[in-house]
Structure 1
Amino acid sequence: MSKKVQYTLEYPVRCSPTILYEFLSTPAGLQEWFADKVDEREGMFSFSWNGSVEKAQVIETEIDKFIRFHWLTAPGDEFFEFRIEKSEVTNQTILVIKDFAEKREVADQSQLWEYQVKDLFHRLGN
């Protein structure tokens, strides 16, 4: 199995970091755009898509700044992260997503994130 590579996606978003963080870090918020059903217990999130369940643990978080998850089925050094940054030039809020994928699958995975983020923006009224 080839080693996965980390890739980063950035999306400008028109909403406050506080509201955006709610959509990135709470079961109710994530269920709006990321998965069909989301449950959380003591930092362990269960994400359901079409009846299959994947579990991820929160490994690091800073309120209104970022949240980093680790899939339980992934190697220990892999994670996916939602980070909220502010452009110093335009003062615009930027959603930064970091994830891992096989090198040949980065384009497909990026497209999947693009689809998910469009759903998020729709929920946010962007």
Structure 2
Amino acid sequence: MSKKVQYELEYPVRCSPGILFEFLSTPAGLQEWFADKVDFRDNVFSFSWNGSTEEEAEVLEQLPDERIRLRWLHAPKGEYFEFSIQISEVTNMTILTVRDFAEKKEVADQSQLWNYQIKDLFHRIGN
């Protein structure tokens, strides 16, 4: 089994950090773009797609309007995915950063999947 590598994707977004964070950290927000159904209980999100596939992710860290870090329950302890929000000092634009882990040869495919998901998020927030 090869070791996964961390990769990072950045997206400029025309949205306030508070509104964006709602879409990244609440069941209702995540259900708009990330999964078909999202539940939250005992610090664990349950995601389902196509009415059957279900995955669970625990919240490792959360700073309101700044960052949420989650770990799939089936993933090794050191792996996570994270959404972080910053304001560019140069452009004053909101920047969404996605950090995730993938096999080195799968980073491009996983990045493309995130690009598709984030495009759907931006559509939902009117970006």
- Normalised TM-score (structure 2): 0.98
CA RMSD, aligned part only?
0.5
Q: State the one-letter code of the partner of 1:67.
A: I
Aligned-pair distance for 1:43? 1.1
| Secondary structure of the structure 2 residue equivalent to 1:18 | helix
- Are residue 106 (structure 1) and residue 107 (structure 2) matched? yes
Identity %: 72
- Normalised TM-score (structure 1): 0.99
- Are residue 17 (structure 1) and residue 11 (structure 2) matched? no
Which residue number corresponds to residue 65 of structure 2?
64
Unaligned runs of 5+ in 2: none
Unaligned runs of 5+ in 1: none
Aligned-pair distance for 1:74? 0.3
Aligned-pair distance for 1:42? 2.0
Which residue number corresponds to residue 118 of structure 1?
119
Q: State the one-letter code of the partner of 1:81.
A: E
- Once the two structures are superposed, residues 55-89 of structure 1 have per-residue CA deviations (whole angstroms, 9 ceiling, x without a partner) of 00000010000000010000000000000011010
- Are residue 73 (structure 1) and residue 74 (structure 2) matched? yes
Q: Which runs of 4+ in 1 moved over 6 A?
A: none
